[in-house]
Structure formats: structure tokens, C-alpha cells
Amino acid sequence: MHEQTLSPTPPSGPKTKRQLDIVVKFALGVFIGSFALIWGGMYLSRPDRSIPPYTVGSQHGSIVATHVPFGTTDQQVEKLLKRFRKVGHETRDFGPMKIYPTTPGDPDGRYQDMLIVVFDDHGWTEPEMLAKYVGGDAAFAEEFERSIRGFYRLQDQEEEAGIGPASKRGELFDETRILFKGRVTDPLPADEEPAEQGISISPL
């Protein structure tokens, strides 16, 4: 009986790396590119966390009713009012802050006269509520004004802001705390940061 001699398996040479198919390369490129675009868009439109989130509920002439979430502190409302102040000093363009021009036909500017009131109950910012307030119902007006958390008033070159109730006539309540009052030509405090224009808000 003859024994079969098994020939040794020839050593395998270095394996050649298989190249990715052109279609796979294209798909990977599209995937990575899409991810980069999404991430970049999210970064550029990131919310401004230095101020509380707010919404413009309604606007009637020069009066703008905004609301912040319930539980927003006075300190946070103050930061929002100071942001309005910065815009009034630096650009006087409140469009990026979601506010339509309050004096659109004024040759001196689109925001020459403005009162922004801040609530923490969005019900007060409904268009019918603001219209009723502007309409002059005295009993309703007092309730409306006493519900205000803060305000920013801009009239020509004069500005004023405070925490607490305010009146459209410029009258203040005893519990109102004035934050600042003066002219928009006055320099801003050195410790305040420049106004940001990249706030994630709906365009007008």
C-alpha cells in the first residue's frame, strides 16, 4: 500500500486590500457631508443661553407684549431687558429680536417709540388682550399692568427699563424697581458683553 504524500500548502502572499466601490465611496461622502451640514447649522443657530427664552405674543402699534416661561427669575428678566438695551444702543434694529418696526414710517428710524412689556403668563400677550388694554378699559388696564414682570421703554433718544409693573403712560408703581434710565447715546457699562446677533429666533 502506497502512502499518499500531501503536498504542503503554498504560503499565501500578502493580501491585496480590497478597494471600496465608487458607489460606496459616494454614499459615505454624502452621509458625512450631510452630518457636517446638520451639525454646522445647529451650531450657527444655537439658542442664546445668556438670556431667558422669550416669545413675542402680540404687537399693537408701539407696544410689544412678550412672555417668558413661568418661573423665570427677576435676574433673568433683567438680562433680557439689558439685551434690549444693547440693541437700542448698538444697532437700533429689533428685527432680529422678533419685533416688527414700531414706527415704520418715521424717517428717523423704524423703532423711535417703543414699549416692550414682559409677562410670565402667555395669556396676557394674546392679541385680543393687548387690544383691550390699548382700548382704554381702566379696570382691565390696571390688572394688565400689575401682571407685567418687566419693561423696556424707548422714546427717541431716551430709554428706561425696570422690573415690575409699568404703564403705557410712563407711570410707575411703588413696587417697580428701575434698572436703568438715560439716553441711548450714553456709553454702556463696561462689564456688559456686546449684543449677539445669532439668536435662534423666527425671522420677520
- Share the mean pLDDT of the chain: 81
- pLDDT at residue 195 in the model: 47
Q: What is the pLDDT of residue 201?
A: 38
Percent pLDDT > 70 in the chain is: 74
Provide the pLDDT for residue 172.
76
Please, which pLDDT band fits residue 39 given cuts at 50, 70 and 90?
Answer: very low
Across 175-189, average pLDDT: 89
Contact at 8 Å (CB) between 124 and 118?
no
Q: How confident is the model at residue 168 (pLDDT cuts 50, 70, 90)?
A: confident
Q: Are 94 and 152 in contact (CB under 8 A)?
A: no
Q: What are phi and psi of 155, to 5 degrees?
A: -130, 105
Q: Which segment of 36-45, 87-96, 109-118, 128-137 scores lowest on mean pLDDT?
A: 36-45
Q: State the average pLDDT over residues 188-196.
A: 62
User: How many residues are present in the chain?
Assistant: 204
DSSP class of residue 204 equals -
Residues in contact with 102: Cβ distance below 8 Å, sequence separation at least 6, in sequence order: 59, 61, 62, 64, 110, 111, 112, 113, 114
